[in-house]
Amino acid sequence: MKRGFWEKLSSPILCLAPMADVTDPPFRRIITKYSKYGGQDIFDDEGKLTRPYKTTGGPDILFTEFVSCDGLCSAGKERILKDIRFSEGEHPIVFQIFGGKPENFKKCAKLAVELGFDGIDINMGCPDRNIEKQGGGASLIKNLELAKEIIYATKEFSGNLPVSVKTRLGYNEDSLETWLPYLLETDLAAITIHLRTRKEMSKVPAHWERMKRAVEIRNISGKKTFLLGNGDVWSILDAKEKIRNTGADGAMLGRAIFGNPWLFNKEIMRENLPASEILRVLVEHTKLYEELMGGVKSFSVMKKHYKAYVNEFPGAKELRMKLMGTQNAKEVENIIQSFLD
């Protein structure tokens, strides 16, 4: 088993979930700056650290938003590469990929090594029907042989990089008792379990009681694979409590990061910040999005963050409505400045 950076981590492991059109290069850089480096301007335009600085926390692991193996093996590769760029301060960072063709996982594993990622994560949990039609995501829970073939193909070409999987409790029903042992047989460095079935999507509370059983299954197997839980983790304290109650090695936080790049900061809490500081970071995030993702993604993708940033202070609703009508970072900056004045 190649464990790589995982060997250096100790429980409780707290990491940021990969989320499509959310954990893109600009947001990861903002999270790194405000969670890990306390808001210090220590990055140059290319995302490299300009000087060492004592960290104030930060996620133990960052993941890219998931990208298509087939896409990275097509003529559209260059555009996708812009979506998985990372800054120097984001290590350890894991490259998450999806697909249904083992030969393309081999190529993407080699690419991960070339690009300098710290690990590779295979998505076997996404419920999106278009991804399932490609043989990827949650559909692999129903196709055990293909799932295993993909894992071994990735491991074969991953060099020294550890390989992990993010999945669910099952497809139409909870199949943890058979699905997890099957994955454990492949000697993965880590497995993250979204504690719902594919059928349940996110419509029911996450079944964190099943995480305890997952740990028992892992322990009985004798494997050293790390197990992380995911789903309905709303704060760092909540994550630590869930880890303690289940015996999991860690937890993955997703929606809790919306509008709160300070989430993993040990010294700063969003609720203690004035609205002016939160709005200043919103503008910074927007400018960085335009700089890094202009021509790659629509500006409207950035707007999904505004509802989370702009709330819980007087005039927030009216300000949000104005921001949703903007077309670029300059308009956002002008509206925010007028509001603060």
Tell me the torsion sign for CA atoms 90, 290, 23, 277. positive
Query: Model's pTM, two decimal places?
Result: 0.94
Which pLDDT belongs to residue 167?
98
Distances (CA, A) of 73 to 68, 103, 105, 111: 9, 10, 9, 10
Give the C-alpha separation, 191 to 249, whole Å.
10
Which pLDDT belongs to residue 8?
94
In the chain, residues under CATH classification 3.20.20.70 are 4-257
Which pLDDT belongs to residue 228?
98
Residues near 189 by beta carbon (within 8 Å), at least 6 away in sequence: 1, 2, 3, 4, 6, 119, 162, 163, 164, 225, 226
Q: Name the percent of the chain in helix, strand, coil, to the closest 5.
A: 45, 15, 40
Task: Tell me which DSSP letter residue 65 carries.
Answer: P
Whether 118 and 157 have beta carbons less than 8 Å apart is answered as no
Whether 153 and 103 have beta carbons less than 8 Å apart is answered as yes
Strand partners, 67: 97
Q: Is 126 a residue of the active site?
A: yes
Which pLDDT belongs to residue 196?
98
Q: Minimal CA–CA distance to 150: which of 161, 159, 163?
A: 163
Distances (CA, A) of 293 to 80, 117, 289: 11, 20, 5
Whether 163 and 192 have beta carbons less than 8 Å apart is answered as no
Catalytic residue among 15, 69, 73, 126: 126
Which pLDDT belongs to residue 220?
97
Find the largest Cα–Cα distance for the chain.
Answer: 62
Give the C-alpha separation, 123 to 98, whole Å.
5
pLDDT in tens, 6-20: 999 999 999 999 999
Protein fold of 4-257:
TIM Barrel (3.20.20)
Low-confidence residues of the chain, pLDDT below 50? Answer: none
Which pLDDT belongs to residue 64?
96
Residues near 296 by beta carbon (within 8 Å), at least 6 away in sequence: 79, 82, 83
Tell me the torsion sign for CA atoms 199, 202, 208, 211. positive
Strand partners, 248: none
Which pLDDT belongs to residue 209?
97
